[in-house]
Amino acid sequence: MRKKTRQIKVKDLIIGGGFPISVQTMWKEPLNLPLDQVLKRVDKLTAMGCEILRIAVPHRDDATYVGKIASSVPIPIVADIHFDYKIALKCMDFPIAKIRINPGNIGSPGKVEQVIKKAGDHAIPVRIGVNGGSLPKNLQHENNPARAMVKAAEGELELCEKFGFKDLVFSLKSSEIEATVKANQLFSEKYDYPLHLGVTEAGPLIQGTVKNTIALTELLKEGIGDTIRISLSDTPEHEIMVGREILKLLSLKSKGVHLVSCPMCSRSVFNVRGFIEQIHEKLMSIDKNITIAIMGCPVNGPGEAKKVDLGITGSGNYAVIFKEGVIVKKIAAVDAPEIFCREIDNF
């Protein structure tokens, strides 16, 4: 059972309060691309299930560009601020949905006070993002990394509450699984603020997916966590895919494609991996309960996938589409991606 946390409104999305756990990612391209190119990519990420997009704002001049993005897309844009609190102040002149600050480098309490005062005036929530690798100087030599992260969060929490600001989300992340899990457990025991979960600097696709899955599964099973970001040295698309899959397999996300595919062997005559790559964006954009099978050959195709709603396999120049183990169409292999996607739409 999920822990009940307070509700924080981020544009039209609610974080916490028992609302569905949201999946977010981070923009990874330079902030000098043509705006229409950026908006097209954001639309693609949104279609794949991205519900919050965070953008690092390294310079004050970048705030205007990020503000234009925030003004042009339906999903919440979060401005990620390090070091210079004045960047945060400038970002809030635009329709930014949330500000993220790092207590390890944002500066003095007076600077934080200015950020939360303007955030309060503009009804913009703030995420206090604690990173195990960039703790405040007075906590960098703590023997217990989890407790050090909690102390860093508590320092900012005390300051925010002192000025009456409680529109807060917290994250406590480390590149180490144990420290990440323990820090979030400790914080969750004491406070009802919503938590943003993730393992920072987790690594490339495979290693990062494993790290995040182990840490987040433990926390989510305990009912801890209100929004997640799978940090990978990879594409935002893959971060979204992994995040959605974790939530789906933990029954924390009610809709989405459940994909069954064979691991392939020397008997395989249908290019399972290549076919999945061709239609994976389509699969991610489907928000319905459907089980799909993509199998390597007719031997283990319909027979071993009798319980799926819709499946495909093939041999040579043809492919077959089956429903509940019964072949319903034989088509040319070259046409298979388009026709199969149409079958999904019509299901």
Task: Judge if 287 and 321 occupy the same domain.
Answer: yes
Query: What is residue 80's DSSP assignment?
Result: E
Q: What is the pLDDT of residues 31-81, one digit of tens each?
A: 999 999 999 999 999 999 999 999 999 999 999 999 999 999 999 999 999
> pLDDT value at position 294?
94
Would you say residue 3 lies in a domain?
no
Of the ranges 141-150, 179-188, 279-288, which one carries the lowest mean pLDDT score?
A: 279-288
Task: Judge if 270 and 193 occupy the same domain.
Answer: no
Task: Judge if 208 and 276 occupy the same domain.
Answer: no
Would you say residue 274 lies in a domain?
yes
Q: What is the pLDDT of residues 79-113, one digit of tens each?
A: 999 999 999 999 999 999 999 999 888 888 899 99
Q: Domain total for the chain? A: 2
Would you say residue 2 lies in a domain?
no
Task: Judge if 93 and 196 occupy the same domain.
Answer: yes
Task: Judge if 25 and 158 occupy the same domain.
Answer: yes
What is the rounded CA–CA span in Å between residue 255 and residue 280? 16
Taking only Cα atoms into account, the Rg of the chain, rounded to an integer number of angstroms, comes to: 22
Residue 326 is part of which domain span? 256-346
Task: Judge if 318 and 184 occupy the same domain.
Answer: no
Task: Judge if 308 and 233 occupy the same domain.
Answer: no
Task: Copy the structure tokens of residue 203.
Answer: 């690594």
Task: Judge if 109 and 163 occupy the same domain.
Answer: yes
Task: Judge if 232 and 325 occupy the same domain.
Answer: no
Contact status, residue 42 vs residue 75, Cβ threshold 8 Å: yes
Q: How would you classify the pairing of strands 22-26 and 196-197?
A: unpaired
> pLDDT value at position 76?
98
Exposure string of 113-140, with b = 16+ CB inside 10 Å and e = fewer, is bbbbebbbeeebbbbbbbbbeebbeebe
Task: Judge if 239 and 265 occupy the same domain.
Answer: no
Task: Copy the structure tokens of residue 278.
Answer: 């061709």
pTM value > 0.85: yes
Would you say residue 107 lies in a domain?
yes
**Residue that has been written with the tokens 């433990």 in this structure:** 218
Task: Judge if 23 and 131 occupy the same domain.
Answer: yes
Q: Is residue 9 classed as helix, strand or coil in its secondary structure? A: strand
Would you say residue 214 lies in a domain?
yes
On the CB side of 76, CA atoms within 13 Å amount to 25
Task: Judge if 335 and 224 occupy the same domain.
Answer: no
CA neighbor of 271 nearest in space, from 331, 334, 324:
334
Task: Copy the structure tokens of residue 40.
Answer: 């097209």
Contact status, residue 344 vs residue 310, Cβ threshold 8 Å: yes
